[in-house]
Amino acid sequence: MNTSLAALLLASAMLAGCSGPKTLYQWEGYQTQVNQYFKGESKEAQVEALEADLQKIKAKNGAVPPGYHAQLGLLYSSIGKDDQMVREFETEKALFPESATYMDMLLKNAKGGAQ
């Protein structure tokens, strides 16, 4: 009996060690939506899907992957929601400071500053 219990505990410990590491970012359907963006799928449907996934990520206290808010901002820009575009680009800059130069360029271009 003790041998069986010890073997069961050992097997449980080994299986627990096999579980994969927790991912740094919660991707949800982000990659699928980027793919659909390049295929020219409905921008409104993509916004809805990304917003729904964003709520799921927040509900799990997960981390949004780099580019998520930038993609959402580009989609908002394409459907004429510039105020939401600015909000998403600013959020991307705050979460990922290394994206600031690119986000600033997109904001400048959106405001007609591109020469």
pLDDT mean across residues, the chain? 87
**Can you tell me whether residue 30 is helix, strand or coil?**
helix
Amino acid at 11: A
Amino acid at 31: Q
Q: What is the mean pLDDT of residues 62-66?
A: 95
Nearest alpha carbon to residue 28 among 13, 10, 46: 46
Tell which CATH classification among 1.10.3470, 1.20.120, 3.30.70, 1.25.40 matches the domain 26-110.
1.25.40
User: Higher confidence at residue 48 or residue 110?
Assistant: 48
Q: Where are the alpha helices (DSSP H) in the chain?
A: 2-18, 30-39, 43-59, 68-78, 82-95, 100-110
Question: Residue 90: its pLDDT value, please?
Answer: 97
Question: Residue 97: its pLDDT value, please?
Answer: 97
**Is a pLDDT exceeding 80 seen at residue 114?**
no
Question: Residue 8: its pLDDT value, please?
Answer: 66
Question: Residue 30: its pLDDT value, please?
Answer: 82
Contact 54, 76 (CB under 8 A): no
Contact 73, 85 (CB under 8 A): yes
Question: Residue 115: its pLDDT value, please?
Answer: 42
Q: What is the mean pLDDT of residues 5-29?
A: 70
User: Higher confidence at residue 3 or residue 50?
Assistant: 50
Q: Residues 36, 42, 45, CA angle at the centre, nearest 5°? A: 90
pLDDT in tens, 66-113: 999 999 999 999 999 999 999 999 999 999 999 999 999 999 998 875
Q: Residues 100, 104, 110, CA angle at the centre, nearest 5°? A: 145
